Amino acid sequence: MDVRYPIGKLQVHEKVTLENIQEWLKEIETYTVRLRETVDSLSDEELSKTYREGSWTVRQLVHHIADSQLNMYQRLKLALTDENPTVPAFDEEKWAIQPDTKLSVESSIKMLEGINERIVSLGHSLTEEQSNRTFTHQINGKIKVATKVAKLAWHEEHHLAHIKIALSK
């Protein structure tokens, strides 16, 4: 197993159905409960563990998940409200070392609870036409709403696997 991609790289079919989206939303809907179960009782020492040499700590991973979901949620909303908006990238490495990443992981779990609730609510109302709307990422190019929902679910699971690897060391 490649610890950089413990659940594999994101793979999205060319034709995504509304049923696929509903499956991803189920993962997103239960995510914060599973994340909280994994990190709630951790000591500072455990929160400082990494899943591989040079990787982010468990604490940084939890904050990164919240930061990333926030950015991806905004992109999703923009795609649904604007005509193919161009969205900026965010420098994940610089975000991961900002002073707020020293806070308790609880602050990011609370943030994720709200963001994920909003994503799930929005996702349940998507029509096929809306799922095919797009935004243009300044680095990665044009991305469909359906693909973004897939990434929202995959990204959380990807980093939960990283956290579990770090804690197993």
Render pLDDT for 7-56 as a digit per residue (tens, 0 to 9). 999 999 989 999 999 999 999 999 999 999 999 999 999 999 999 999 99
Two tokens, residue 125: 């109302």
Torsion of CA 46, 163, 90, 16, to 10 degrees: -160
**Cα–Cα distance between 71 and 77 in angstroms, integer?**
10
pTM value?
0.96
